[in-house]
Copies of this chain bind each other. A is one copy, B any other.
Amino acid sequence: MKETRIIALETRDLHFPLSQGAGSDAVHSGAEYSFATTLLSTGNRIYGTGIVLTLGQGNELVCQAIELLGKTLVGREIEELMADFGATSRSLAEHPQLRWLGPHKGVIHLALASLTNACFDLWAKSRGIPLWRLLLDLDPSQLVSLLDLSYLEDVLTQEAAETILRDHISSRREREEILSRGYPGYDTSVGWFQYEDSRVKELAQQAIDRGFRAFKLKVGSRDGQRDVRRAFMLRELAGPEAMVMLDANQQWNLPTVLEMCRQLRSMAPYFIEEPTHPDDIHAHRTLAEAIAPVPIALGEHVPNRVMFKNFMQAGAVGVVQVDCTRVAGISEFLTVSLLARKFGLRVVPHVGDMGQIHQHLVLFNHIAMGHQALFLECIPHMQEHFVHPAQIVEGVYVTPQVPGCSSDFKGVVPAARAEAMRS
């Protein structure tokens, strides 16, 4: 195999303004989707792109943290680096000074995610295959060596992680059908918080016409009756068979969410997403018991495997929305997916990457771990900016075939390569 060595690390502070009201929820407004982007350049024409999402301000802080944290990657050969990436991930996460800023959360952990995602992208490109293929090609011990399993010893040892993968090898073939069928999607873009009722109705009808059967509505108004009205409106429009998810974006406290869920019960939500503060495991457990069998979905703001382990141990989460642009990248995403498998929980990623990377990861989760192929969120607002935007046709993600993680932005290339392209 040809040697691929990282010769430089650059960052890009990328901002993409959204049209009015898009991306809005009960706590976030005026957002512009922004990406703290890592570029790893090599001596040849390929480069690695790593992304994490922010909402605008502060994106540059993540870029600076990437540069502080990523220095030691420069000079590394990619196959050699990825042969034992779990150890590298741990040593970056345990940086003796930068660790203080987390640990394992916030700006510094987002930086680690961007770096990690760039390494995986470069690795897949250097092998000339898409990420899902690369991961499926690894044997269980190679896959697990990518992961930092520290602080999970009481629940998921290295051996236990390998066993989950090994136990699913013989049945892979039947699940590989998904590659030709495509992974189901669901539409988040119909029910943004600031959209008027009429706009929600119109967009939902369009999504139904495009083949979607699952929809999400943003709730968490100060006026709870607005939430109730819109939820029943969408249920009526979508029909009793459709899946309607409600997302409160942490806006409710525990007494409020218990009351709101009582009022929304007969609307039959498929799940309740981020009902309250993302650190409040106890409140989520109390709610989970109150609304069973309707599950709680969360993960968008859960920063690491240790917090996910705690949510799972407490029975406080039903649908695991781990996001490889919130936890420490693709490797911690895989760790959390293994944890979820151990606890018998579904994984439906939040897509801070607009689904670009996660379209690969859900294929791997389904085929290699036996996770149910439920559906993956679709957020169409950024499609024009990616070199290889996810293809969603008749409600399914078409399996990507281009080498890498599908995370390259148009016109965002390392300086050396940009120079070469100009000359």
A99: CB under 8 A from chain B? Answer: yes
Q: Is A407 an interface residue (CB 8 A)?
A: no
User: Is A29 in contact with chain B by the CB < 8 A criterion?
Assistant: yes
Selected from B94, B103, B110, B255, the residue in CB contact (under 8 A) with A301 is B103
Q: Which of B57, B68, B281 contacts A57 (CB 8 A)?
A: B68
Interface presence of A225 (CB below 8 A): no
Q: Does residue A104 face the partner (Cβ distance < 8 Å to B)?
A: yes
Query: How does the 8 Å CB contact mask read for A303-315 relative to B, with 1 for contact and 0 for none?
Result: 1101101100110
Copies of this polypeptide in the complex: 2
Interface residues on A, range: 35 or more
- Name the contact of A109 in the complex, choosing from B56, B104, B106, B276 (C-beta under 8 A): B106
Q: Does A55 contact B (CB under 8 A)?
A: yes
Using CB atoms, name the residue of chain B closest to A281.
B310
Greatest chain B CB density within 10 A among A29, A103, A105, A314 is at A105
Docked complex: A26-65 residues within 8 A CB-CB of B:
27-31, 53-58, 60-62, 64-65
Closest chain B residue to A31, Cβ basis: B97
**Contact partner of A58 among B97, B154, B286, B301, CB < 8 A?**
B97
Interface residues of A (CB under 8 A from B): 27-31, 53-58, 60-62, 64-65, 68, 94-110, 150-151, 153-154, 250, 253-255, 276-283, 286, 301, 303-304, 306-307, 309-310, 313-314
Q: Is the CB of A100 within 8 A of B28?
A: yes
Structural contact, A151 and B277, CB atoms closer than 8 A: yes
Would you give 22 A-B contacts (Cβ < 8 Å), ordered by A?
A27-B94, A28-B100, A29-B96, A55-B99, A55-B100, A57-B68, A61-B64, A61-B65, A101-B107, A101-B110, A102-B105, A103-B301, A105-B105, A106-B106, A150-B253, A151-B253, A151-B276, A153-B255, A279-B306, A280-B306, A280-B310, A282-B309
Residues of B near A31 (CB, < 8 A) are 96-97
Cβ-defined contact, A279 with B254, below 8 A: no
A232 to chain B, nearest CB (A): 27
Bound complex: CA of A115 vs CA of B104, how far in Å? 23
CA distance A95 to B303 in the complex (A): 19
Q: A102 to chain B: which residues have CB within 8 Å?
A: 105-106
Complexed CA–CA distance, A313 and B284 (Å): 13
- A109 nearest in chain B by CB position: B106
User: Please, which residues of chain B bring their CB within 8 A of the CB of A95?
Assistant: 57
Is A28 a contact of B281 with CB atoms below 8 Å? no
Q: How far is the CA of A198 from the CA of B56 in the complex (A)?
A: 53
The residues of B that contact A60 with a CB separation of less than 8 Å are 64
Q: Given the complex of chains A and B, what is the CA–CA distance between A175 and B94 in angstroms? A: 43
Contacting pair A253 B154 (CB below 8 A): yes
CB-nearest residue of chain B to A100: B55
Q: A151-B253, A280-B151 are in contact. Are A58 and B100 (CB under 8 A)?
A: yes
**Which single residue of chain B is at the shortest CB-CB distance from A282?**
B313
For residue A65, which residue of chain B has the nearest CB?
B61
Q: Which of B55, B151, B255, B279 contacts A96 (CB 8 A)?
A: B55
- Interchain nearest-CB distance for A403 vs B (Å): 30
Interchain nearest-CB distance for A73 vs B (Å): 16
Nearest B residue to A286 via CB reads: B154
**Minimum C-beta distance from A20 to chain B (A):** 15
Contact (Cβ within 8 A) B106 A310? no
A301 proximity list for chain B (CB < 8 A): 103
| With contact pairs A107-B106, A255-B154 given, residues A97 and B282 touching in the complex (Cβ less than 8 Å) | no
Chain B's nearest CB lies how many Å from the CB of A46?
A: 30
